[in-house]
Amino acid sequence: MSQVNQVKNGARFIKDIPHRESHDRCLWNARMRRDQTAQAIPEWEEMRDLASQIKEHTLSHLDHYLEEFEKNATANGIHIHWAETPEEHNEIIYQLLKQHNVTTATTGKSMTMDECDLRGYVEKRGMYIHEADLGECIQQLDNQMPDHIVVPAIHKLRQDVATLFAKKLGSDPDITDPHYLNGVMRAYMRKKYEKIEAGLCGVNFAIAETGGICVCSNEGDVDISQVVPPLLIASMGIEKVIPTLQGVALYVRLLSRSALGLDITQYTTHIHHPQPGQEMHIVILDNGRSKRLGSPDYWQVLKCIRCGACMNTCPVFRRTSGLSYEAVYMGPIGCVLMPSYDLHRYARLPYSCTHCGSCGDVCPVKVPIPELIFYWRGVDVDKHQSEKVHDAEETAAELMLRSSKTLAMGENMALWGLRNLPQWLLDSGLNPWADVHANPEPPKETFREYYRRNYKKIEFMNKTTDLHGFLSLNL
């Protein structure tokens, strides 16, 4: 697949003023609400430390906790499956659906299923999975990837949704009232629920000591998918396991506050057994995770609890949209996660970052995203996947920056240009700075020149005078 050009995609979204402004405003508001709710908890920073430590502990003993989880879940009557690759994950679920003669199923947001493109896999084989989450459903109807892992259609304006629903569901294109649009979606989904033969869902936390799962959602759709159909299949990455039920409380307190600034998700559902008459399966996915776990530079990325706080705060993400990353995981966490899935396709994502560091500070489990960005840029360079132009630029930069003499030469050349070249040339495409900036006004002299003119001689004189004095005293 071709390399994603996030800069080019983002530039298109930036030019679309109404969408960009709405995207930026909605997500910034989520960040502000997060600040407010977090501020109300005196032990917030301690909670982040603890949440990070529990994850680090669990990841360091992951084999133990996964086996404990499997043992206890099996004892609860839940079937556990292990999938190393997306193909295995999809095939396990497909076979389960086939065995139960399922043609339609609903799913309440699952990141691992998106990661494996389960929907695409089963659709090719004649089954249909309906996204039941409002945002996900909008994106599915529009045949578009989610814009954000928590709020998948946040890049759309009300009018976009009204137009889409009118086209796909026959509603009134001129009514943009959210209550109306919500009603349209609800009526549509209810009909699907009547017929579903299987429910799919993701997992927020898998509890080793109890063998149950906890799923956090806001719309109730996940619960319907879990409870109504005779077959329930949950999908999770190996990193979702935590040791104790008590630990869930800590993460639940952090998750929704970080994500949307809400004290808690509307629905926090614990499932420890299948419903009477129901069959329940959990597919546990690796897909490169154990490899990441083995990397001393990179394993901390597995602490992520998928709250999306890093996206809300990222100044680049808010202005360029999640779609511009063309990835299942977008924004800051996407920049450091996607290259581990496909280093060629996502090689440029780690450069879509100003290093402001905000993502690291909002992360409820302290994933060191800013450091990982540096790490991936280094990996990218080592793999020589950078464009040749950049190689040339950096070699030239190194030659200029290596000593004060070459540096002064370079600075003087640039200043000569600023002082003497015609304005049209300075503002042309040859100077990338002039795209969005007025050129700097060149100063009369550099600091080095100023220093030499005003201080160097005097300091030298002082030192020699001291020497004379010293010598004369000794004589």
Partner 1 sequence: MKVGFFVPCYIDALHPQAAISSYQLLKRFPELDVEFIERAACCALPLTDMGYHKKACTLERNLVPLLAPYDAIVLPSGVCTDQFRGHFDSVEQTDEVKHIREHTYDIVEFLHDVLKVKSLPWHPKFPARVALHNGCHSLRYLMMARPTELMIPHFDKAADLLGMVEGCEVGYATRRDECCGFGGTFAIWDAPCAGQQGLDKVSDYARNGFKHVVSQDFSCLMHQSGVARKNGLDLKFYYIAEILNGDAQP
Residue 252 Cβ vs partner 1, minimum distance, rounded to whole Å = 18
| Distance, CA of 409 to CA of 418 (rounded, Å) | 14
| Distance, CA of 341 to CA of 292 (rounded, Å) | 10
Q: Contacts with partner 1 in 342-361 (CB under 8 A)?
A: 350-358, 360-361
Residue 416 Cβ vs partner 1, minimum distance, rounded to whole Å = 11
DSSP 328-394: SS-HHHHHHHHHHH-TTTTTTGGGS-----HHHHH-TT---HHHHHHHHHHHHHHTT-S-HHHHHHH
Q: Contacts with partner 1 in 430-449 (CB under 8 A)?
A: 432-433, 435-440, 442-443, 445-448
- Count of chain residues binding partner 1 (CB under 8 A): 74
Options 404, 423, 472, 474; binder of partner 1; rule CB under 8 A: 404
Q: Pattern 18-47, binding to partner 1, x per CB under 8 A? A: --x---x---x------x--xx-xx-xx--
Q: Contacts with partner 1 in 275-334 (CB under 8 A)?
A: 313, 315-316, 319-320
Residue 356 Cβ vs partner 1, minimum distance, rounded to whole Å = 3
Q: Pattern 153-192, binding to partner 1, x per CB under 8 A? A: ----------------------------------------
Q: Quick count: other Cβ atoms within 10 Å of Cβ 319? A: 17
Could you give the count of Cα atoms lying within 13 Å of 358 in the half-sphere of its Cβ? 20
Q: Contacts with partner 1 in 375-394 (CB under 8 A)?
A: 376-381, 386, 390, 394
Residue with smaller CB distance to partner 1, 206 or 349: 349
Options 157, 177, 451, 462; binder of partner 1; rule CB under 8 A: 451
| Distance, CA of 163 to CA of 176 (rounded, Å) | 9
Residue with smaller CB distance to partner 1, 76 or 386: 386
Options 169, 187, 249, 407; binder of partner 1; rule CB under 8 A: 407
Residue with smaller CB distance to partner 1, 84 or 449: 449
387 with 73: CB under 8 angstroms?
A: no
Please say whether the dihedral angle defined by the alpha carbons of residues 315, 321, 324 and 328, taken in this order, is positive or negative.
Answer: positive
Instruction: Name the helix (H) or strand (E) containing 168.
Output: helix 158-169
Residue with smaller CB distance to partner 1, 109 or 377: 377
Closest CA to 411 of 439, 375, 449: 449
Options 167, 195, 270, 402; binder of partner 1; rule CB under 8 A: 402
Angstrom distances, CA of residue 153 to CA of 30, 137, 170, 285, 393:
15, 9, 20, 26, 39
Q: Contacts with partner 1 in 91-110 (CB under 8 A)?
A: none
Residue 162 Cβ vs partner 1, minimum distance, rounded to whole Å = 28
Residue in the block written with tokens 């010598």: 471
Q: In terms of DSSP bridges, do strands 104-108 and 79-83 run parallel, antiparallel, or are they unpaired? A: unpaired
Q: Contacts with partner 1 in 56-85 (CB under 8 A)?
A: none
